[in-house]
Amino acid sequence: MNKMKTLLNGILKENPVLVLLLGTCPTLAVTADAKSALGMGAAAFFVLVGSNLVISLLRNIIPDKVRIPSYIVIIAGFVTIVEMLMHAFFPSIYEALGVFLSLIVVNCIILGRAEMFASKNKVVESIIDGVGMGIGFLFALLAMAVIREVFGAGSFFGMEIPFLKDYCFPILTSAPGGFFVFGLLIAAVNKFSTRKPKKEFGCEGCPSAATCGKTKCEKEAE
């Protein structure tokens, strides 16, 4: 029962993108079409599950002081594996994702889950958390990408949609459209969900918050 809760937590209640507001860079950058969003979601899913597994296994061995660098090395290792696999088997998606594939290393969702969950929980729970968060990220990316592709390019996974093809808004597939659709999605979550997204982008989701001392950030702000 508890495991089911952990799984659903990542998909709905604490959706990393739409509720926790983490990983905004890839969310905006790779969602111009559904195919690259799917590729990105799958790659991040693999890295998330893999790093959660390994970090949870090593949680009693890694010294507390060097934990962030250790996590980064583990995550970077998985990212390199994904990069090589994508390059070999899905070259077109590899090209489309470009630099963002290797930037999974600095995706705050993955470091955040390592710091907040995998470093404190048992292996099975950590894997389930990784799966849940990975699916949540994938869903959010797909939702963004489908809206942007259908209304911005008049197609769905590359297939043309007869009427919309001639009456689309190309601006949605460019940079400003990304910000706008993301804003609309969060406003929709605000409106219809009981669990509200955070009011502001803040330090607490950021994995380096522990190192920099969030309190210091806030003191400075005052």
Binding site for other proteins (CB under 8 A): 21, 24-26, 28-29, 69, 72-73, 76-77, 79-80, 83-84, 98-99, 102-103, 105-108, 111, 171, 174-180, 182-184, 186-188, 190-191, 197-203, 206-208, 211-212, 216-217, 220-221
- Nearest distance from residue 37's CB to other proteins, in Å? 13
In the bound state with other proteins, the residue whose beta carbon lies nearer, of 12 and 197, is 197
- Nearest distance from residue 80's CB to other proteins, in Å? 6
In the bound state with other proteins, the residue whose beta carbon lies nearer, of 166 and 199, is 199
- Nearest distance from residue 155's CB to other proteins, in Å? 22
Burial of 118 (0-12, 13-18, 19+ CB in 10 A): buried
In the bound state with other proteins, the residue whose beta carbon lies nearer, of 4 and 184, is 184
- Nearest distance from residue 174's CB to other proteins, in Å? 7
In the bound state with other proteins, the residue whose beta carbon lies nearer, of 57 and 212, is 212
In the bound state with other proteins, the residue whose beta carbon lies nearer, of 124 and 184, is 184
Measured between alpha carbons, how far is 131 from 134 in angstroms, rounded to an integer? 5
Cα distances from 53 to residues 29, 95, 127, 185, 211, in angstroms, run: 28, 28, 6, 31, 23
- Nearest distance from residue 75's CB to other proteins, in Å? 9
Measured between alpha carbons, how far is 106 from 132 in angstroms, rounded to an integer? 20
Measured between alpha carbons, how far is 147 from 219 in angstroms, rounded to an integer? 40
